């Protein structure tokens, strides 16, 4: 039994949900998102709740049931509140600079600066040179862009230099033992 899939999703005020031909479309004050629902999974809207049900009890349908419900819930949450990931840059001379709201210029200790363009629906904010805020309404896209930025210079285990999530703990190693 999918505990995630069985829970109903409450629709906040100001959001509209449309279901047509296996596609759920959620629109609200932040924007609009749509998601294709897997075959065998049904989504219904009753008053101010969305319920997700499955046709049969096979293993695949049970897993898709929870997935579909989580995806719809992420859309509702994103369109109403949005998502944000915060990255921290650690290292001498490592810094970020915003080029508008959709581009970043990063100095990461390479011989050249690295520029990052934001995909549509993503905005960058640099409140200070060592902090990057990635925000948008699509949870998956926000996480992927943040992971791509982190991958440019992963935190290394000896001094901890690199780009990390704000809440990330980097495991440190001891250096070479002195003679």
For residue 95, tell me if it sits in a domain.
yes
Domain with residue 150: its CATH number is 3.90.930.12
**Residue 18 and residue 65 in one domain:** yes
Give the domain-ending residue among 59, 81, 103: 81
Are 54 and 65 in contact by the 8 Å Cβ rule? The answer is: yes
Give the domain-ending residue among 81, 108, 131: 81
| pLDDT per residue as tens digits for the range 88-142 | 999 999 999 999 889 999 999 999 999 999 999 999 999 999 999 999 999 999 9
Give the domain-ending residue among 49, 81, 113: 81
pTM of the model: 0.89
On the question of pLDDT at 1 being above 70, the answer is no
CA atoms of 120 and 129, how far apart (whole Å)? 23
On the question of pLDDT at 50 being above 70, the answer is yes
For residue 175, tell me if it sits in a domain.
no
29: domain range?
9-81
């Amino acid at each position: 039994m999918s505990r995630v899939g069985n829970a109903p999703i409450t629709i906040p005020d100001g959001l509209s949900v449309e279901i047509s031909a296996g596609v759920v479309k959620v629109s609200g004050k932040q924007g609009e998102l749509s998601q294709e629902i897997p075959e065998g999974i049904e989504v219904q809207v009753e008053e101010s709740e969305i319920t997700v049900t499955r046709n049969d009890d096979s293993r695949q349908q049970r897993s898709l049931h929870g997935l579909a419900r989580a995806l719809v819930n992420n859309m509702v949450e994103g369109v109403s509140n949005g998502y944000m990931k915060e990255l921290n840059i650690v290292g001498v001379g490592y810094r970020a600079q915003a080029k508008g709201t959709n581009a970043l210029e990063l100095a990461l200790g390479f011989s050249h600066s690295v520029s990052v363009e934001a995909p549509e629906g993503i905005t960058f904010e640099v409140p200070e040179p060592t902090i990057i805020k990635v925000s948008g309404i699509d949870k998956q896209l926000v996480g992927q862009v943040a992971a791509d930025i982190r991958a440019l210079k992963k935190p290394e285990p000896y001094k901890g230099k690199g780009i990390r999530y704000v809440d990330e703990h980097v495991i440190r190693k001891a250096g070479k033992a002195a003679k």
